[in-house]
Every structure is written in structure tokens, then in C-alpha cells.
Amino acid sequence: MIKIEQLNKHFKRLDVLCDISVFLSKGQVISLIGPNASGKTTLIKCLLGIVKQDSGIIYFNEKNIKGDWSYRHHIGYMPQIERYPDNIQIGQLINMMKDIRNNVNTLPDEELIEKFELNKIFISKTRSLSGGTRQKVSAALAFLFSPEVLILDEPTAGLDPLSIEILREKILKEKEKNKLIIITSHILSDIDGLASHIMYLQNGQLIFFKDINAIKQEVGEDRLSKAIVEIMKQKKSLYKRKNEK
Amino acid sequence: MNKTVKYVLYDIFRSRILIAYACLLFLISFSLMSFEENPSKGLMSLLNITLIVVPLISIIFGTIHFYNSNEFIELLLSQPFSRSSIFFSQYMSVSASLSCAFIIGMGIPIIIFSPGTIGTTLIITGLLLTMVFVSLAFLSSVFVRDKAMGIGFALLLWFLFSLIYDGLILMLIVSLSDYPIEKLTLILASFNPIDLGRIFVMLQMDVSAMMGYTGAVYKDFFGSSTGMIYTFLIMFLWILWPLLLANHRFNQKDL
Amino acid sequence: MKRTITFILYLLFIDILSATTFHIGTRYPIKSIKEAVRLSSGNDSIIIHKGTYRENNIVITHPIIVIGIGAPIIDGENKYELFIISSKNVFIKGLHFKNSGCSALNDYASIKIINSSNVSVIENQIDNAYFAIHVSNSNFCTIKNNIINGLRKQEQTTGNGIHLWKCSNFLIEGNAITNHRDGIYFEFVTDSRIQKNSSENNIRYGLHFMFSHNDEYYNNLFQNNGAGVAVMYSKNVMMKYNTFKYNWGASSYGLLLKDISDSYISSNIFSKNTVGIYMEGSNRININKSSFQENGWAIKVQSNCDENKFHDNNFYGNTFDVSTNGYSSPNKFYNNYWDKYEGYDMNKDGIGDVPYHPVSLYSRIIENTPGTLFLLKSFVILLLDTTEKSLPTLIPENLKDTRPLIKPLVI
């Protein structure tokens, strides 16, 4: 589905992504994790073409995405957004999305709009929204067109537990439909039971990309979050030792 | 592309700054035109506003809008559009809404109190200057990443065109006063859209001081249809080059 | 007016007593004007009936009355002159003169008056003349209500509309002159009055006079002339209720005063001229109750002008109110209304409490470097002028209106 080959990106002197190669396929729910400033958001933005890589190629359905924008028809993106245009209403924002991505074949998927009860606040302006509501809107927009690929950047930040649960269920539902879902998150418990794969980035390097069951066996931990913390510790010490040498 | 224009326009039209701008222009224009018994004197005062206030508001508003829309533009970029179409739709929205504000704020009072060629020329010049300075605003916001610096740079551009450039020209003309430099100043006017607009409108206004020898040189050139076409052409170049340069950079840029 | 009436009565009286009347026309035995003039003697009348008369060089040397009925046309076919008058007591009325000759050597005219007195030229139309009415060395004449229209050629190939040389005690009234070189031209003309004329679209000056003292100019309209109105080397000139309009061009003036002294210019309107009044070497002129509107420069005073007074005038919409090339000003400005005045009037007596400086910094800059006209109405000029106004350093300190009016005068 998505193939990344030797992706490199640096901002000024800082290497944000080093030589990342990976293949992501349908049906996977990938949890993209790593410490702060490890390059998660940059990687996502590279996939979306918002950030342009220095070198390396990204294939989407075996087509190079460079200079192409039509592949984004198949992607739903939920950004970490702090500001929508000040004076636009939520209803208008959703209508705009429907307008600009009008897909004649499929009806828009308004499940999240209903479950988050966004219709009740259709006429309120985005300026007055709380962080949590803004997240709900972003999520609803990402899922609106039942895209084949979903990219969710910190989806649970600012959401209340009830809403997190709604979102989880929605993600699981989409997973069943054999879609590729990429989630970045700091909060490991969120992804418990969701992710099928873990992709771990640190200092711009892909440390590992593994099946979740494999990880659990390897570390001998049943709970995912603990397993991952365990791995993080190992890698950190490894990384330190490497540097000391 | 056009579909987003509609929604961005929705947004800007409800912006308080834009409404305040339109109201301010309307109040000034209305009071100036109704207060002055002589409409041509009122138009002359409006010319000053058009040359100073309109570029200032356009460039500041354009810059702030662009920075504030940063994340929204990111969201749009994740949609199936080319970058250029997003960029140009932003430009169209901003310049269209500022132009509307200008037409409502200044155009309507002019049409009520002093319809005719001079008024029309003034309105057209105001609109062209709006588009030029929004274009410059986008240039500065695409090239400068930091919002505060970008606004500062935009202000600097405005300052350059409205004051510094003319100050330098003044020094140049005074120091070259022994030479016939009227023709040279015609060329120099082309490098500053505000100067170009000013001379263009003033020649329509039949300012008597413009009828002297120096004025005759301008009148001969700008008064002819060639001069008219030239003026519009240069104005369009002033809209296009910053916009195209900004678009080029925007296409390369990481957001 | 009175003079004319007395004159006509006098002529009629003579007519009743002894004069003969000759009729000319297709239905009359005499077909030619020349013939009638030859037959006539002193104080006879000639009535010219409707028709076209292709004649020229009609010489009149005795008193006579010539009256056209139904505007008979006298066509010179572009050769020579039409009427040449050298006599006292000649009266010409109601004729339509056409196509007198044009010559580089002679001042050909439709009506030429030489060494005459008591000549009246009334209600004629003169088209396509080199000079229309050319008068020299004559006095006590009246030129009234004529319509004069030249063919607009180059300055060299067109003469003046009404041309007077070495004359005195003339009345020029109600004539309309267009498309000549100078509309009205005076040289060495004294004690005359020019009133209610209009002089428009002439190639050079609407009114042009030199060495003409003690003359009066009332209620005339001078507009759209190539160089406006020029008056030079004269004394005791009285100009009242005239309008000077639309005189546009590099060296065009509403009113150019050169070496004029002891004169009175009052209640005139100067509107939309490149320069309203330009003064050079002029002294003791009183300019008052005039209105200066939308001129490029309302008044340009060269520094060789002395003891002139400008008071009770209205200035509005002028790009520059006053400009001068000197650093001191021996001229006085008071009691004028200036639309650019921004002072206040605490005691409400209608007079501003701070003086008004009508010379702006920019007008000084532009005086020295005309190229800076490029920056007219620009922000940088606005700032310069404002700065100079609050901290005057370059403009002549004593050129100011000490009693600027708050409201415009009703003139």
C-alpha cells in the first residue's frame, strides 16, 4: 500500500528522518511511537506531501507520490490543529469538506458527527471551540469519506474518556474493513488493543517496525504499554552505549 | 480550488477587522464627500487615503491572514489538491474580500457623490493597489517563517513603497535638477505601484498644476491610450511577480 | 453707450436735412458697394441689402453711415482688405465680413481704421480674417457687439481679433472673439474701456496690452487661451469683475503682470489656470475681492515685486496658494480666506489667531526643481510640508497672512 524507501529529511543541521525504509500494507493498524522530536509528525507530513523529503521515494499503491496530489483522495488525515479559520461555523467546515471531496459513489460517513453530537453545535464558530471539541471535529472530518488510509496525529489529545472510547470503536470498525491506519500517540494505553504493528522512531531513525504479537513474545509482557516501555529502555541504553563508543 | 474560495470568503467576510476596515473607509469617504462642497477636493483627499491606508491595510491583513491560516492550509494540503490551487485560492479569497470592503467603503460614497471618470479611476486604482499589496503580503508571509518577522517585513515593504522610495526619488531629482529627467521619472514610477497609481489618478483629476511643462510630459504619456495600457500592464506585473514568486516558494516549502 | 446714441441722433438729424440714401442690392440699380461709396458724399447713408458682395479694398474717406439689412455678406475672396476707413464720423452696422486677405508683409484686416475719429463698428460678424478690426492712430471710436471668429492657423498666419495701436478714448464692448492670435491687442492705447467682451480659444493671449495707461477692463471673460492674458509696461490699470478660466499650459497664465504699477485688480475670478496671477516687476498693485479656485498656483510673485497688497480674496482648491523665488517678501497679505488654513479662532471674531503661511516648502522645492512635480500629493511631500509648517526654516517668514479669515468671503 505505502512503501517508503530510504527517506531522508533534515531541517537546517538537524536530521529529522534518517534513511527510513518501510512497507505498510492494508489491514494494518500502525502505532507510530517515539519520544518527543523523534520525527513522527515529519514522517506523517512526508506521507501527505506537506513536508518534502530531501531524498528517498514514497510509493502509494506503487506510484511515486512526488508531484502528484490525486493519491490524497484515498487518505483521511486528522491533524493536531489549534486553529481553524476564526469565523467559520462547524457546519460550514464539514460542508466544505463534503464539497471539495465530493465522491459520487459513496455517501459520506457521518457516524462520528452523530456520535460526537456535533450536529448540535453546527452553527457555533470554530473560534469558540475547546481543544477537545476541535479534536472531535478533526476526527469527524478525517473519517468522513471512508478513505482507504487514515492518518491520525495524536487523536486522543484533549478528548474525554467517553469520546476516546467512541473513537476507538470507530478505529476498530475501520480496521475490520481492511484499511491502513496510522496513529501517533504519546499515551500508550490508547493504542492497547488497537494496534497491530508498532513503529518506533528515535532521533529520526526507525528503530523497529514489528508485529505487536511478536513484541509481546519477545519481551514477555502481556500488556502492551509495559512491553513498549521495556523496549524503550533497552533501546535507550543501547543507543547510549553506541554513542559512547 | 474555487470551492475553498467560497468558504474562506465566508470566513473573512465575518472577520471583525475586515468589517471595521469597510466601515472606517465608508465613514471617512462619506464624511469627506458630504462635507466638501467641491467634489474634486473630496476626491483628492480620498486619493491620499487610497494611496496610504489601502496598501497598509491590504498588506497587514494579507500577512496576518496567511499566518493565521497556516494550520488550515496544512489541512487543505492533506486534501487532494495541488499546492498552487490552494495558494491561489487563498490569494483570491483575501484580495476579493478586501476589494469588496474597498468597494463598499469607498466605492459607494464615490458613486453617490461624484460619479464619473475620476471617481471610477480612483476606484480602479484602489482595487489594483489592494491586489498588489495582498500579493506582496503573500510574498512576505511565504518567505518569512516567523509571524512577527513576517509582519515586520510586510510593514517594511509598505514603508518602502509609500515613503522611502519617494524620498530617494526626491533626492535624485533635486541632485539631477540640471538634466532633463522627466522621462526618467516616468520609468521610475513603474517601479513603485503607489507612484504609478497616484500619477494615473491625478492626470484624470485635471489638477491644474499638472498642466505645466513637467506635467505635460506625464499628460502626454499617461493621458494617451498607450499610457493607459502601460499603466494597467505594469500594475498587473506588480500583482503577478510577487504572487508567482511566492507560489513557487510555497510549492517548494515544508509546512 | 450715451456717446453712441448722441452720435446716431446727430447722424439722423443730418440725414433729415440734407443726406441722400443709397440702396444696394440685386433689386436696386446700384449693385456694388464701391459704386455707392463713390457716388456718396459727406453724411449720406448706404443701405446694403441681403446678398453676397465679392468686393475688396472699399475705401471710405468721408463721413458716412453703412447699414446692412439681413446680414449681407462681403466676401474678400482671400485677397486684400475689405473696408479701409480714414475719416471722422463713420458708422458701420450689420455686415458680415468674410475671407479678407492674408499677408506676411501687410497687416491685412477686414476693417481697417486709420487716422480716424468717431467711428462706430457695431453688430457685425467677421469670419476668417487675418486681422479682424485693425485700428491705428485714432480716437473716440466704438467697437461693439461684433462676433469675430478667425480660422485657427499657426501663430504666424493669424492676426489679432481687435487690434489697436496708438489710440485713445475707445469703447470696446460686448464683442465675442475666438480663434485669433490675440483676442484683443492694445499698444499705446490710453483712456479706454474694455467691457463685457469674451475672448476664447485664441492661439496666444485672450487680452494682450502694452504701454497702455489709464485703461479700464470690466466684466470680460477670458478663457481657454493659449497663454491666457498678458499685460505689460502699463500704469493705472483698473481690472474688475473679469473671469480668467482654463488657461492651461507650460507658459500659460490666468493673468500675467509684467512691469505693471499703481493698478487695481478687484472682484475677478481666477479658476483652473496653471497659474492664476504671475507677477514680475510689478509694484503698488492692489489685488482684492477676487476668487482663486483650483489653480495650479494661485499666485506666483517674483521677488522683484514690491508693495503689492493682497487682501479680501478667497483661495480654494489651489494646488499651491502662493509661490515666490525670493527669501523676503515686501508684499502684504491680509484678510484673505485660505481653505488650507488650519488655525483657530478663540475670540470668535472671524479672524484666525495664528498667521497663515501660504508658501509651502514643496512649492519652494518645485520652484527650484520643477521635476519634483512627480511627487505631487505623495506621502513624502505631505510629511515634508507638515514638518515645515510646524518648524518653519526655509520659507520666507514674513510672507504670511496675519489676519486669515475663518470663513470665505461672500464676493
For the domain that residue A240 is a member of, what is the CATH number?
3.40.50.300
Question: What was the pLDDT predicted at B240?
Answer: 96
Three cell numbers at A193? 488493543
Q: Do chains A and C meet with 3 or more Cβ pairs nearer than 8 Å?
A: no
3-state helix, strand, coil in chain A (%, to 5): 40, 25, 35
Q: How far apart are CA B85 and CA C377, in angstroms?
A: 39
Q: Which residues have a Cβ under 8 Å from the Cβ of C182 and sit 6 or more positions away?
A: C160, C161, C163, C202, C204, C205, C206, C207, C208
Q: How far apart are CA C319 and CA A112, in angstroms?
A: 68
pLDDT at B179 over 90: no
Q: Which residues of B touch C295 (CB under 8 A)?
A: 208
Whether chain B has a CB inside 8 Å of the CB on C374: the answer is yes
**Which one-letter amino acid corresponds to residue A48?**
L
Q: What is the mean pLDDT of residues A50-59?
A: 88
Whether chain B has a CB inside 8 Å of the CB on A45: the answer is yes
Q: Which residues of B touch A71 (CB under 8 A)?
A: 80
Question: What was the pLDDT predicted at A151?
Answer: 92
Q: Which residues have a Cβ under 8 Å from the Cβ of C84 and sit 6 or more positions away?
A: C57, C58, C59, C60, C112, C114
**Which one-letter amino acid corresponds to residue C397?**
E
Q: How many residues does chain C have?
A: 411
In the complex, which subunits touch B with 3 or more CB pairs below 8 angstroms?
A: A, C
Which has more confidence, B126 or A238? B126
Residue in chain B lying closest to C272 (CA): B208
* Residue A70: other Cβ atoms inside 10 A: 12
> How would you classify residue A194: left for phi > 0, otherwise alpha for psi between -120 and 50, otherwise beta?
alpha
B152-175 pLDDT per residue, tens: 999 999 999 999 999 999 999 888
Band the pLDDT of B101: cuts 50, 70, 90: very high
Q: How far apart are CA B95 and CA B103, in angstroms?
A: 12
Contact B72 A83 (CB under 8 A): yes
Question: What was the pLDDT predicted at C9?
Answer: 61
Q: How far apart are CA C39 and CA C113, in angstroms?
A: 21
Question: What was the pLDDT predicted at C166?
Answer: 95
Least confident of B38-47, B111-120, C236-245, C275-284: B38-47
Q: How many residues does chain A have?
A: 245
Task: Kindly report whether the global pTM for this prediction surpasses the value 0.90.
Answer: no
Helix, strand, or coil (residue B73): helix
Helix, strand, or coil (residue C336): coil
CB nearest to C376's CB, from B38, B174, B209: B209
Band the pLDDT of A128: cuts 50, 70, 90: confident
- Chains B and C form CB pairs within 8 A to the count of 105
Q: Is residue A150 a contact partner of residue A174, using CB atoms and an 8 Å limit?
A: yes
Q: How many residues does chain B have?
A: 255
Query: What does pLDDT average to in each consecutive run of 10 residues of chain C (411 residues)?
Result: 65 60 88 88 89 90 92 88 92 92 83 94 92 94 94 75 95 94 94 95 92 94 91 93 90 91 94 92 94 92 91 92 83 92 88 90 86 87 85 77 91 76
> Closest Cα partner for B215 from B231, B200, B203?
B203
Contact B198 C248 (CB under 8 A): no
Distance from CA of B44 to the nearest CA of C (A): 9
DSSP conformation class of B106: I
> Closest Cα partner for C352 from C362, C360, C344, C340?
C344
Question: What was the pLDDT predicted at C18?
Answer: 63
Look up the ipTM and state it: 0.85
The residue segments making up the domain with residue A180 are 2-244
Question: What was the pLDDT predicted at C263?
Answer: 94
> Closest Cα partner for C22 from C43, C40, C34?
C40
Measured N-to-C along each axis, helices B182-190 and B213-222 cross at an angle, to the nearest 10 degrees, of: 50
Three cell numbers at C191? 483712456
> Closest Cα partner for A145 from A101, A84, A195?
A101
Q: Which residues have a Cβ under 8 Å from the Cβ of A172 and sit 6 or more positions away?
A: A194
Placement of cell 517678501 in the chain: C329
Q: What are phi and psi of C198, to 5 degrees?
A: -125, 135
Residue in chain B lying closest to A91 (CA): B7
Three cell numbers at C128? 476668417
Q: What is the mean pLDDT of residues B117-138?
A: 94
Q: What is the mean pLDDT of residues A33-39?
A: 81
The radius of gyration of chain C from alpha carbons, rounded to an integer in Å, stands at 25
* Residue A114: other Cβ atoms inside 10 A: 10
Cα-Cα-Cα-Cα dihedral of A70, A73, A75, A81, to 10°? Answer: 90
Q: What is the mean pLDDT of residues A3-25?
A: 86
Q: What is the mean pLDDT of residues B221-243?
A: 90
Helix, strand, or coil (residue A152): strand
Q: Which residues have a Cβ under 8 Å from the Cβ of C391 and sit 6 or more positions away?
A: none
Which burial class, exposed, middle or buried, applies to B152 when counting CB atoms under 10 A from its CB (0-12, 13-18, 19+)? middle
Question: What was the pLDDT predicted at C292?
Answer: 95
What are the Cα distances from residue C60, in Å, to C33, C43, C85?
A: 11, 12, 5
Q: What is the DSSP string of B129-180?
A: HHHHHHHHHHHHHHH--SHHHHHHHHHHHHHIIIIIHHHHHHHHHHHTTTS-
Q: How far apart are CA C181 and CA C184, in angstroms?
A: 9
pLDDT at A230 over 80: no
Q: Is residue C399 a contact partner of residue C330, using CB atoms and an 8 Å limit?
A: no
For all residues of chain A together, what is the average pLDDT?
Answer: 83
Q: How far apart are CA A80 and CA C22, in angstroms?
A: 112
In chain C, residues 128-167 whose CB comes closer than 8 Å to chain B? none
Contact A88 B10 (CB under 8 A): yes
Question: What was the pLDDT predicted at B228?
Answer: 86
In chain C, residues 236-275 whose CB comes closer than 8 Å to chain B? 248-250, 252, 272-274
The radius of gyration of chain A from alpha carbons, rounded to an integer in Å, stands at 18
Least confident of B24-38, B241-255, C167-181: B24-38
Question: What was the pLDDT predicted at C13?
Answer: 57
Q: Domains of chain B: which residue ranges?
A: 2-252
A99-109 pLDDT per residue, tens: 887 766 667 78
Q: Which residues have a Cβ under 8 Å from the Cβ of A13 and sit 6 or more positions away?
A: none
Q: Which residues of C touch B38 (CB under 8 A)?
A: 294, 316-317
Question: What was the pLDDT predicted at B208?
Answer: 65
In chain A, residues 112-131 whose CB comes closer than 8 Å to chain B? 125
Kind plus residue range of the DSSP H or E element containing A224: helix A224-244
> Closest Cα partner for C331 from C284, C265, C293?
C284
What are the Cα distances from residue A143, in Å, to A129, A139, A190?
A: 20, 6, 18
Q: What is the mean pLDDT of residues A29-52?
A: 86
Query: How many domains is chain A partitioned into structurally?
Result: 1
Q: Which residues of B touch C371 (CB under 8 A)?
A: 173, 176-177, 181-182, 185, 214
Placement of cell 506582496 in the chain: B136
